[in-house]
Amino acid sequence: MTTSDIHLLHDILNELQFQNSDISHSLANQFTYVKKLNTAVKIENEAIANLSNIIKDNMIQSHEKFQQVARDILWLNITLFGQSELHIVIRQLEFTLFQLVQQIDDLFNIIQCAMHGRLSIKLVNLTVLQSILRNVTLRLPEGYELIAGTNIENIHLYYDVTAVSIVANTHCINLLLHIPLKSAVTLLYLR
């Protein structure tokens, strides 16, 4: 080995040492960068954890508020439904009361008509009057008959010719119908 080979080897070693120091320096810089990056990641992780906790708390509070609003809406719906049902029942009662008042007025008018001695079709309808007259006809003595018979076409005539009397007590109202009869000889009134 010659001096020139030793110099060459020495130069190569110097260059390798210089490259080694560059690599060491670069590695130290990268290690420092990794440490800084690690610190930054830790800070960001803490920030993310903190933000996650804040978001979690906000979500819990939002969910609680949502549940409260849902309860309030449900209570309001139940209240409105109850009021709606109450309103319907009140309207039904009003209608029923109105019908009762009308029926009482009709009954009062019918009784007024009967007190004046007139028979009202509202008091005794055609078919009921026809049945009454047929029963009367069955009980008439021989030789007597109703002035217009018991055919449904002639029943309306009895509303004009029948006189009515009212007998009442606290339990009932009785009507006395005075129906004209005819016989071969005379015209009579059945009382």
Structure confidence at residue 29 (pLDDT): 80
List, for residues 33-71, the tens digit of each pLDDT value.
Answer: 778 877 888 888 888 889 889 999 999 999 999 999 999
Q: Extract the tokens encoding 83.
A: 């009021």
Structure confidence at residue 14 (pLDDT): 83
On the question of pLDDT at 190 being above 60, the answer is no
On the question of pLDDT at 173 being above 90, the answer is no
List, for residues 65-114, the tens digit of each pLDDT value.
Answer: 999 999 999 998 888 887 888 888 899 999 999 999 999 988 888 878 77
Rounded average pLDDT over 106-135: 82
On the question of pLDDT at 122 being above 80, the answer is no
Query: In whole angstroms, what is the distance from residue 111 CA to residue 167 CA?
Result: 11
List, for residues 12-27, the tens digit of each pLDDT value.
Answer: 888 888 887 878 888 7
Using alpha carbons, list the distances in angstroms from residue 73 to 54, 59, 61: 28, 20, 18
pTM for the whole structure: 0.44
